[in-house]
Structure 1
Amino acid sequence: MNAYEWDAEDYSQHSDVQKRWAGELIERLTLTGNEAVLDLGCGDGWGAAQMAGTLPNGSVLGVDYSPAMIALARRRYPPDRHPNLRFQVMDARALSFEACFDRVFSNAVLHWVDDHRPVLSGLYRRLKPDGKLLLRMGGQGDVAEIRATMDKVTMSAQWSEYFQGFEFPYTFPGVDEYRAMLKAEGFSVNRLELIATDMAHEGRAGLAGWIRTTWLPYTQRIPENLRESFIETVCSDYLDQVPLSADGKAHVAMVLLKVEANKSDKT
């Protein structure tokens, strides 16, 4: 996982879809009010705060690799107003706290991690007996059309000099490989499936905002004074292939891997 320079405020303003997905996922946690929850890759803290608000006798720890995201989360959700909510900078591959959790929640994060084995191993150790794991991330076949557009643009004469030696930075796992990793770590799999879904942005500006705030492995290879031009090129090429819908929305076809598992004794 690389330390990209996240603009936390900008990301927060262009993450409505991610927050909607987080809300849907939180409902599946079936919280009763006294659980200890880990939000892995908490970003600006919105989802962690939603969960903390339903846990009068429980707590939430939000961790994220980005210091900028954690700083924003702490400003937005200070301990004097959210006493059962904490935030900490941490690498998902090296979880280093002593606490144990009843639930682990992660939304739209783990496709940033190249090797999920140390992540799952750490989560197994930090879950209580029969603790529940609920994850959602980009899965096999995710963002195929926008990825094809990125490939076309980055190989063009105008931009190719900035992508010498570039390797695709995301991990989009499939069901079979993820099932094998979960079972190897001792998890009992309850649900594991790839779900096709649509990400709708508010027109060209919304699409550009999503690219600017989340496709950092691409945009941060470009000199800062040229980044907006790069993003505009990507948007133009993409919308030539996938035009705005009648209501003015820009649509991106996505494939999400949904994971529900429980900790079980290794045998």
Structure 2
Amino acid sequence: MDRHVWQAEHYRRANSRQFRTAVEALELAGLTGGRLADIGCGSGEITRAMAERGYTVAASDFSPSMVEATREHCQGFPVTVQVQDARELRLDGTFDIVHCSWVLHWLDDIDHALTEMARAVAPGGALVLQWSRGNPRSCEGDAVTVLHAVMNRPRWRDRLADTPFAMHQHPADEVAARLLAAGLTLELPPTEIDAQFVADPVALGRIMASAGLAAQADKLGDDAGDFVTEVATEMIAANTLNPHNTRLIARAAASRAG
């Protein structure tokens, strides 16, 4: 995903539900105040919400547009924000909460990100994760299969040949195993969130164009609306509207070795 394609204003308008689920997950972690790392901060809604709850927040995102939006949205709050690729994540010190919503599925390899996030959880602190495509590898025929079929149609195939869709599948059991190996315990085992997409091809297409299919929409220009509506229509017809959004909360022991 080209970091310059993600535009904060489009993302903000289309993703209010994702913001709400992230704040809900953070509240389930049960802490009030302290240091919080917000990995993949998007347009800053979650960062600001947690700063308003008494946290000092270190936020980061892959997109310069998102970082600038977060900086503007969080003026006057104890928030620092920087452009950072989660695949090369570096966290300064430890945090009472490390939070990462809707990022892991954009990473082809999550080992480094998970290791760094787990390391940065302070004793007694929590790691809060939410991501899409947490379904088992044995689950076939999901929305991405439908999307690839549409992208391979004659109208789109050549035009999108150099803009592949890169939402990766990271099954929940594999993520959980990595965190257990890193010394955390599961406070909330992987739980699938009820996040069925709206069954309206135009509305769903707009949502996808602002985030998941932003690169393809940008590449297609004036034809983007036709493309995302076609994808949405096929997803609805195939009944593949479940993105398998997954939530997990892991806790560090009150006393950590090393």
Indicate conservation of the 8 Å contact 1:94/1:122, yes or no.
no
The correspondence for 1:261, drawn from 250, 254, 258, is: 250
Residues 42-121 of structure 1: matches in 2 within 5 Å?
Answer: 42-55=41-54, 58-78=55-75, 81-82=76-77, 84-121=78-115
From the superposition, tell whether residues 146 and 125 of structure 1 become closer, same or farther in structure 2 (CA, over 3 Å). Answer: closer
Of residues 191-200 and 114-123 in structure 1, the stretch that sits farther from structure 2 once superposed is: 191-200
Residues 134-213 of structure 1: matches in 2 within 5 Å?
Answer: 134-138=128-132, 139-140=134-135, 145-164=142-161, 169-195=166-192, 197-201=194-198, 203-213=200-210
Q: Scaled by the length of structure 1, what TM-score is found? A: 0.82
SS where residue 158 of structure 2 aligns? helix
Is 1:234 the counterpart of 2:231 in the alignment? yes
Count of residues paired in the alignment: 253
CA RMSD of aligned residues (A): 2.8
From the superposition, tell whether residues 238 and 261 of structure 1 become closer, same or farther in structure 2 (CA, over 3 Å). Answer: closer
Matches of 1:111 and 1:72, distance apart in 2: 22
Q: 1:214 corresponds to which residue?
A: 211
From the superposition, tell whether residues 60 and 209 of structure 1 become closer, same or farther in structure 2 (CA, over 3 Å). Answer: same
Shift of 1:266: 5.9
From the superposition, tell whether residues 2 and 113 of structure 1 become closer, same or farther in structure 2 (CA, over 3 Å). Answer: farther
SS where residue 189 of structure 1 aligns? strand
Of residues 124-133 and 114-123 in structure 1, the stretch that sits farther from structure 2 once superposed is: 124-133
Offset from partner CA, 1:191-222 (integer Å, 9 cap, x none): 32241523344844321211101123761574
Q: 1:133 corresponds to which residue?
A: 127
From the superposition, tell whether residues 32 and 237 of structure 1 become closer, same or farther in structure 2 (CA, over 3 Å). Answer: closer
Q: Scaled by the length of structure 2, what TM-score is found? A: 0.85
Matches of 2:176 and 2:238, distance apart in 1: 35
SS where residue 51 of structure 1 aligns? helix
Matches of 1:30 and 1:194, distance apart in 2: 17
Aligned amino acid, residue 50 of structure 1: A
Residues 19-34 of structure 1: matches in 2 within 5 Å?
Answer: 19-33=19-33
Of residues 97-106 and 196-205 in structure 1, the stretch that sits farther from structure 2 once superposed is: 196-205
Matches of 1:6 and 1:236, distance apart in 2: 23
SS where residue 114 of structure 1 aligns? coil
Q: Whose strand fraction is larger, Structure 1's or Structure 2's?
A: 1
Where do 5+ consecutive residues of structure 1 fail to align? 243-250
Of residues 62-71 and 84-93 in structure 1, the stretch that sits farther from structure 2 once superposed is: 84-93
Q: What percent identity do the matched residue pairs reach?
A: 25
Offset from partner CA, 1:44-101 (integer Å, 9 cap, x none): 110111111111xx411211111110111112221xx22x122221122323343321
Q: 1:10 corresponds to which residue?
A: 10
Aligned amino acid, residue 126 of structure 2: K
From the superposition, tell whether residues 73 and 218 of structure 1 become closer, same or farther in structure 2 (CA, over 3 Å). Answer: closer
Matches of 1:259 and 1:239, distance apart in 2: 28
Matches of 1:24 and 1:37, distance apart in 2: 15
Q: 1:245 corresponds to which residue?
A: none
Matches of 2:197 and 2:151, distance apart in 1: 24
